[in-house]
A and B are shown apart, each in its own frame.
Chain A
Amino acid sequence: MTQQEWPLWEVFIRSKQGLDHKHVGSLHAADAAMAMQNARDVYTRRLEGVSIWVVESRHIHASNPDDAAAFFDPAADKVYRHPTFFEVPDSIKHM
């Protein structure tokens, strides 16, 4: 028997102009047009959005939690990347 469940889609919503799209959840839909409409009907019933992205879940590649240390820990000691690392004399403004 063929797969009968509609594919799973991930939904991303921009809550207002100027903000990023943010993952809000998932849903099932047979095609992209339906996924878009379902996202609208499911996730924006209370004016939550001005723009929607949907992507089929199987197209998302996620980092592996086992790699987390190798991936993310090396950034921890690069404190000089943050402006607070540098001391600026009080008399200097606009920096």
Chain B
Amino acid sequence: MQPVSTSTQALPTYPPEVHVALLTYLVQLADTSLVLGHRLSEWCGHGPVLEQDLALANIALDLLGETRSLYQYAAELEGQGRTEDDLAFLRPATEYRNPLLVEQPNGDFAHTIVRQFLFDNFHYHLLQQLQHKPDERLAAIAEKSVKEAAYHLKWSSEWMIRLGDGTEESRQRLEKALRTLWRYADELTTPTPAEQTLQTAGLLPDYASLLPAMQAHTARVFADATLPLPEGVVMQQGGKLGRHSEHLGYLLAELQYMQRAYPGMTW
């Protein structure tokens, strides 16, 4: 939960296009964990069993902690006096850069699990490499978050298996959730121009290099869950470039309500 604070550290200097790309990317990562954390926090008090209420909140808290570290770094790198809260609460939906997957509504528990699994599988494998990349501040954030993400992936993978190889009902619900959410999977590993710039500069792993491990893990989990991999799904993209589904607007209306209704105050 404690954000990684290294504000005493000097900020790195990069060529202008890399600097801009890094800023964009930090905000993208932060938006992603904020939006997903927000969704998970909606479960609080409504989980299927008390123990899982705690688990969902733990994951949400981890993501929120990651969010704050990333926004703080972005705000410093930007150097225009904005704060983490300015970035979270005062940008319109079109400036939010989270992938479409994470803004999708919770639905039933199966939808939440599928969304989480798809995200965790990418997130964990990304952070694993990101922690060794040369941007020190980002690497430090990744190093802290990767431990959390490893746990998240374990949790969501086990639930995929339980629901897939559970009862007839759970299997049907899981398959329905897969049909709904699989279409948002590819966006995670499709680089935006900003991500490409960072990959070229060596600050970000090539997403193709993540795929073998991600696919192997998916194959293992689907086999244990006795599920076939979805096929022939038409993929959707756009969130990372600010083109969102209709769900994000409502999410932000709630998230940003206080700061919009009472501008410029301290809370």
Contacts and interface: CB of A to CB of B under 8 A. Distances in A.
Whether chain A touches chain B in the assembled complex (some CB pair under 8 Å)? yes
Contacts of A34: 51, 158
Main SS of the interface on chain B?
Answer: helix
Contact of B51 (A33, A42, A45): A42
A27 B53 CA distance: 13
Contacts of A30: 162
Query: Interface size for chain B: under 10, 10 to 19, 20 to 34, or 35 or more residues?
Result: 10 to 19
A38 interface: yes
Contact of A45 (B58, B155, B158): B58
A28 interface: yes
A34 B55 CA distance: 11
A27 B158 contact: no
B58 A6 contact: no
B234 interface: no
A41 B151 CA distance: 11
A41 B58 CA distance: 7
Nearest to A43: B54
Interface in A1-60: 6, 27-30, 33-34, 37-38, 40-42, 45
B154 interface: yes
Nearest to B51: A38
Contacts of B158: 33-34, 37
Given A6-B49, A28-B49, A37 B162 contact: no
Contacts of A41: 51, 54-55, 58
Given A37-B154, A37-B155, A42 B54 contact: yes
A59 to B, nearest CB: 19
B12 to A, nearest CB: 32
Interface string B140-176: 0000000000010011001000100000000000000
Nearest to A39: B51
Interface in B19-63: 49-52, 54-55, 58
Most buried by B among A6, A28, A37, A41: A41
A37 B49 CA distance: 14
Nearest to B166: A30
Given A38-B51, A45-B58, 19 more contacts: A6-B49, A27-B51, A28-B49, A28-B50, A28-B51, A29-B51, A30-B162, A33-B158, A34-B51, A37-B55, A37-B154, A37-B155, A38-B52, A38-B54, A38-B55, A40-B151, A41-B54, A42-B51, A42-B54
23 contacts: A6-B49, A27-B51, A28-B49, A28-B51, A29-B51, A30-B162, A33-B158, A34-B51, A34-B158, A37-B55, A37-B154, A37-B158, A38-B51, A38-B52, A38-B54, A40-B151, A41-B51, A41-B54, A41-B55, A41-B58, A42-B54, A45-B54, A45-B58
